[in-house]
């Protein structure tokens, strides 16, 4: 093992205060646990929310944030030795695998779930000790990829994958994704990989334009448009791609009241609405539209670990591209990265490299 001076963790001690660099928070793994040498950890909007005090971490403070972790297992507790040397992805939510929800295949809503960087220490560090359950082995990577690049799968790819599978998106479906920064951009790619005709809606061309090369059949910048104009424009897209006005599958990924109102207004006969983004704000909608249109709406939270191999395969097969949508920065520069993140305009997701 490396000398401890080369191992460190960034600890969040207080809301709104700079992270504190400490020697190493990772302990020797107990039974059922592994010690992971981190290759890369994604910086998520959720982390910024914790840091700003918008949302408290479930474990309280201090805590090491970071829940999009890829790395190599370098030590393991009793029973998990077979992981040593493996390159792995840590699920953003680690279910208990024993409760009724876990047994029903819905571990993403396990009430005993552990989220790194929220319930337990996470990946803003060189090393982290975590439960081995739910780990996904990373196979041979495509050209140009390194292990660190894969970390964003843990949240940004698996979350929309779960929603797209639950909506039964198949060949020829007409899909609308509302809000295409981060998660929504991958929703576009995953739905397109499933054979759907996908239209991407956002208020920022920087989010929309790259998607024309990665899954979007069309884009629509909705800034300044009212719902009637948006609906008309989306119908035009549907018509130009030979899709009708029924059976649309709509994914709300913006997590904003405006996005939610837009998404709901697009719901028509036999439509499906998936709520993937989160906001505390409320919207006023006519719920009876669901009845009148024989439509369905559901919420999608995270992704159970058993779907991770499929998410990894989408990337290794080249169906979902990560590299145009991420940028890598040194983990050592995390405080400066966080400073810049608040006023940042780079639409790419940040991966921290120890
Ligand atoms: Zn996240
Ligand atoms: Zn459980």
What does the pLDDT look like over 146-175, one tens digit per residue? 999 999 999 899 999 999 999 999 999 999
User: How far does the centroid of ligand 1 lie from the alpha carbon of residue 309, in Å?
Assistant: 18
pTM here is 0.94
Model confidence at 128: pLDDT above 90: yes
> Which ligand is the nearest neighbour of the Cα of 154?
1
User: How far does the centroid of ligand 1 lie from the alpha carbon of residue 299, in Å?
Assistant: 17
The predicted-structure confidence for 234-281, as pLDDT tens digits, reads as follows 999 999 999 999 999 999 999 999 999 999 999 999 999 999 999 999
Residue 109 has what pLDDT? 94
Q: How confident is the model at residue 312 (pLDDT cuts 50, 70, 90)?
A: very high
Q: Phi/psi zone of residue 332: left (φ > 0), alpha (ψ -120 to 50 degrees), beta?
A: alpha
79 Cβ contact list (under 8 Å, min separation 6): 31, 32
> Which ligand is the nearest neighbour of the Cα of 303?
1
Joined together, the tokens standing for residue 192 give: 């397109």
SS3 (DSSP) at 311: helix
N residues, the chain: 354
User: How far does the centroid of ligand 1 lie from the alpha carbon of residue 235, in Å?
Assistant: 32
User: How far does the centroid of ligand 1 lie from the alpha carbon of residue 183, in Å?
Assistant: 9
Farthest-apart Cα atoms in the chain, separation: 66
Integer Cα distance of 112 and 140 in angstroms: 32
Integer Cα distance of 138 and 305 in angstroms: 13
Mean pLDDT value across residues 25-49 = 95
User: How far does the centroid of ligand 2 lie from the alpha carbon of residue 104, in Å?
Assistant: 9
Cβ distance 63 to 286 under 8 Å?
A: no
Main-chain phi, psi angles of 248, to 5 degrees: -65, 145
The predicted-structure confidence for 168-219, as pLDDT tens digits, reads as follows 999 999 999 999 988 999 999 999 999 999 999 999 999 999 999 999 999 9
Integer Cα distance of 95 and 106 in angstroms: 9
Model confidence at 33: pLDDT above 60: yes
User: How far does the centroid of ligand 1 lie from the alpha carbon of residue 44, in Å?
Assistant: 5
Q: What is the mean pLDDT of the chain?
A: 95
Q: Looking at 11-25, 91-105, 338-352, which range is the least confident one?
A: 338-352
Bigger pLDDT: 7 vs 345:
7
User: How far does the centroid of ligand 1 lie from the alpha carbon of residue 286, in Å?
Assistant: 31
Mean pLDDT value across residues 327-338 = 95
> Which ligand is the nearest neighbour of the Cα of 110?
2
Model confidence at 11: pLDDT above 70: yes
> Which ligand is the nearest neighbour of the Cα of 42?
1
User: How far does the centroid of ligand 1 lie from the alpha carbon of residue 92, in Å?
Assistant: 7
């Amino acid at each position: 093992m490396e000398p401890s001076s080369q191992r460190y963790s960034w600890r969040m001690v207080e809301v709104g205060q700079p992270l504190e660099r400490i020697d190493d928070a990772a302990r020797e793994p107990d039974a059922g646990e592994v010690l992971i040498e981190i290759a890369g950890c994604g910086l998520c909007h959720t982390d910024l929310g914790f840091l700003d005090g918008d949302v408290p971490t479930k474990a309280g403070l201090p805590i090491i944030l970071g829940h999009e972790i890829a790395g190599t297992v370098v030590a393991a507790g009793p029973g998990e030795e077979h992981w040593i040397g493996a390159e792995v992805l840590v699920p953003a939510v680690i279910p208990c695998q024993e409760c009724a929800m876990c047994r029903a295949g819905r571990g993403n809503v396990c009430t005993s779930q552990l989220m790194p960087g929220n319930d337990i220490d996470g990946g803003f560090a060189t090393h982290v000790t975590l439960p081995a359950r739910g780990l996904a082995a990373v196979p041979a990577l495509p050209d140009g990829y390194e292990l660190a690049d894969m970390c964003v799968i843990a949240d940004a790819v698996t979350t929309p994958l779960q929603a797209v599978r639950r909506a039964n998106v198949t060949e020829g479906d007409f899909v609308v994704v509302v809000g295409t920064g981060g998660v929504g951009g991958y929703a576009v790619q995953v739905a397109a990989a499933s054979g759907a005709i996908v239209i991407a809606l956002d208020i920022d061309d920087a989010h929309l334009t790259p998607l024309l090369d990665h899954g979007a059949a069309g884009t629509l910048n909705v800034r300044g448009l009212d719902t009637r104009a948006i609906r008309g424009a989306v119908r035009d897209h549907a018509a130009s791609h030979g899709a009708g006005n029924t059976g649309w599958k709509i994914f709300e990924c913006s997590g904003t009241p405006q996005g939610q109102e837009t998404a709901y207004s697009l719901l028509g006969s036999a439509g499906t609405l998936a709520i993937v983004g989160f906001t505390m704000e409320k919207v006023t909608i006519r719920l009876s539209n669901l009845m009148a249109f024989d439509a369905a709406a559901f919420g999608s939270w995270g992704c159970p670990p058993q779907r991770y191999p499929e998410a990894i395969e989408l990337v290794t097969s080249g169906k979902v591209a990560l590299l145009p949508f991420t940028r890598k920065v040194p983990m050592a520069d995390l405080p400066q990265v966080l400073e810049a993140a608040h006023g940042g305009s780079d639409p790419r997701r940040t991966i921290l490299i120890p």
